[in-house]
Amino acid sequence: MVVLGRVTAPYGVQGWVRLHAFGDDPGRWREIDRWWLGREENDFSGWRAYPVQGLRLHGKSWVAKLVGVDDRNGAEQLIGLYVGAPRSTLPATEPDEYYWGDLVGLSVVNEKQEPLGRVAELIESGAHAVMVVMEGDTQRLLPFVGHVVKEVDVAAGKIQVDWERDW
């Protein structure tokens, strides 16, 4: 299961919900016919499937309509739930495009091949995604942008960055 975003609020009175996407192209979620919603980001045992009835951009945010959620009360029950889908149902990524879930756990090294830790999570800062890299008790926040991230090799389990250990 790959976590794609989170339900943030109801939208209107017909069961639509607002979404906070953990990535930059939620419009491609239309290609997924069924989303899974749950309370725990890393424990999918209690997640429930919802067929997708509609997804559209409203201003700067996305709103969605799920089958079986037909009024504002139903939409309010979904506030705070994570939205995900099995990896096998997600649209294929373009070259140099990654699902956040594919990056979590990868080792991070700098251009001198010095280890900086492993990606614990990614967070959206507004301007760009930020990798939270943990090495023991040391936490590094690295912007996930081209001038910092030099190479991502998911198959090898490694991300190479232009970042010094003492920054």
Q: Give pLDDT tens digits for 102-137.
A: 899 999 999 999 999 999 999 888 788 899 999 999
3-state secondary structure of 126: coil
Entry pTM:
0.72
The pLDDT of 87-101, averaged and rounded, is 84
pLDDT at residue number 18: 97
pLDDT at residue number 90: 86
d(CA 24, CA 52): 19
pLDDT at residue number 99: 84
**Token pair recorded at residue 4:** 């794609």
Domain architecture of the chain: domains with CATH: 2-89 (2.40.30.60), 100-161 (2.30.30.240)
Q: How far is CA 106 from CA 79, 88, 112, in A?
A: 31, 20, 17
| 162 neighbors 111 (Cβ within 8 angstroms) | yes
